[in-house]
Every structure is written in structure tokens, then in C-alpha cells.
Amino acid sequence: MTIIFRTTLSLLGIAAIIAACSAQLHADEGVKDQVRELTETIKGTLLDNSIPFYSNLSGKPIPMKVFDEQEPGREVLIPDGAACIILYICPVDDNYCGIEYHGLNGIISDVDATTLVSYYMQEERDKPACTRDGAAFFEVRNVASDDVLNMRDSNGPRARKIGSIPHVATCLENHGCVDGWCRVEYDHRIGWVNGAYLTEKLSRAGEGCVTAKERLLQGTP
């Protein structure tokens, strides 16, 4: 009898814990949905010269939960040194902030958000050229010296390969990022590359980057 009584209490306790976790989960999802809606609203009203750009100079990657209806809860890491992060909103009394990075919209914790450094607080020499689409230019990173970065005809790993970019390439002109893939222009060719192999922090070799339009106006190849 005692065993049955203890077992019943144990099951009730487990049920209570599950119910509490479920309630917290739904509450969290509700907050995330609210932040998502506010983010989309603000995103549509910002002018190009008023976009709040930030950099991750925290010394560590920042986890970001992506607004992805096909993969709810999908998480990516914003690398240390990442720039041109758009911070849209941090609602009062919520634990999340709505941001955009590499064409991905999602949320980060309010604690991680406090470690981001505003574009206006950075030294002029450390500021990458940011646009609504992110950085104006990228540089290849984390590609082995005996390998290349594949360029594809659409944003996905199974898309047709249309070219390759050297592991030391810089001045890849950004034409916009979607779901972690970025459409870039390099050596007179435009295609999609995996954003995980790009950085906005240009080396000295990339300090003189100019757009294809500027080259055309200047009459340079």
C-alpha cells in the first residue's frame, strides 16, 4: 500500500514537472512570437541611414535561435568578430532581442545582446562598410589552404556549382544573404556561397575594396 502511495506521488510529481515545463515552453514561444512580430514591424520602417548595426566583440560566439517555420528551434552561432549585426528590438521585461545577421532573422538572449558593441562606438578603422544587406564586402575565412569556396547558382549545398573562390579571396561584394547563404560578386561572377565561410572583418588586403559599379564608373577592370 505504501509503495502504491509513493508511486502515485512520484507520478503526480513528474506530471506536475512536465506541466510546468510545458507551460514555460509555451510562454517562451509566446514571447518569441511577440518579438518576431515587433522585429518584422520595425524592420519595415527603418531607413537605410538609421539601421542600428552592431558587432560581436565579446570574445565568444553568440547563440541565435532562428525564425524558421520549417525548423522551429533551429540555432546558429554568430561568430566572435561578426559585424553588421542588426539589433531591432529588446522588449522591456522579456529575455530576448530580435536581430538579423547574414540574412537570418531571429532572437538572442538579452544578456548576450548587452555584449554587442554599437557601430558608432567602434574605432573608425575597425568599422566594416555595412548596408541593409549586411557588410558591403566579405572576405573568405576558415577555408583550408588547399581548398576553395564553392560558388553555387542558388542558396543551398545541393545547388549547382558555378565557380570557386580562392581561400585567401577578399573584396567579395555582398548582394544580400538568405538563410545563412550570401549572394556575392567576385571576379565578374555572381553566385551564392555559404556564409559560414565569410567574414566582414577585412584584412589589410581588403581595405581598398570597391564595388563593381564603382569600377565600371572608374573605367577599371
Looking at the structure of the chain, the number of domains it has is 2
Contact yes or no for 170/202 (Cβ under 8 A) = yes
Task: Round to whole Å and give the CA distance between 94 and 115.
Answer: 17
Q: 99: which 3 cell numbers?
A: 536581430
* Closest C-alpha among 46, 112, 41, 37 to residue 75: 112
Whether residue 193 sits in one domain with residue 210? yes
What's the pTM value of the predicted model, to 2 decimals? Answer: 0.56
Q: How far apart are CA 198 and CA 122, in angstroms?
A: 21
Domain that holds residue 191: 129-218
Residue 125 contacts residue 166 (beta carbons within 8 Å): no
Q: Looking at the structure, do residues 85 and 66 belong to the same domain, yes or no?
A: yes
| Cell numbers representing residue 55 in the block | 558587432
Residue 157 lies in a domain: yes
**How many of the other CB atoms lie within 10 Å of CB of 180?**
16
Domain assignment present for residue 142? The answer is yes
Residue 24 lies in a domain: no
| Residue 35 cell numbers, joined | 518579438
User: Is 183 within 8 Å of 175 (Cβ atoms)?
Assistant: yes
63 within domain boundaries: yes
pLDDT tens digit at each of 221 positions of the chain: 444 434 333 434 434 434 444 444 444 666 667 677 776 776 666 665 677 888 888 999 999 988 866 666 688 888 888 878 888 888 776 788 888 887 788 889 999 999 999 877 877 655 666 766 677 889 999 999 999 999 998 888 999 998 999 999 998 998 888 888 998 989 878 889 999 999 887 777 767 787 776 776 566 66
CA distance linking residue 53 with residue 116, whole number of Å: 10
Helix (H) or strand (E) holding 34: helix 2-43
Q: What Å distances lie between residue 46 and 34, 65, 95, 105, CA to CA?
A: 19, 23, 23, 15
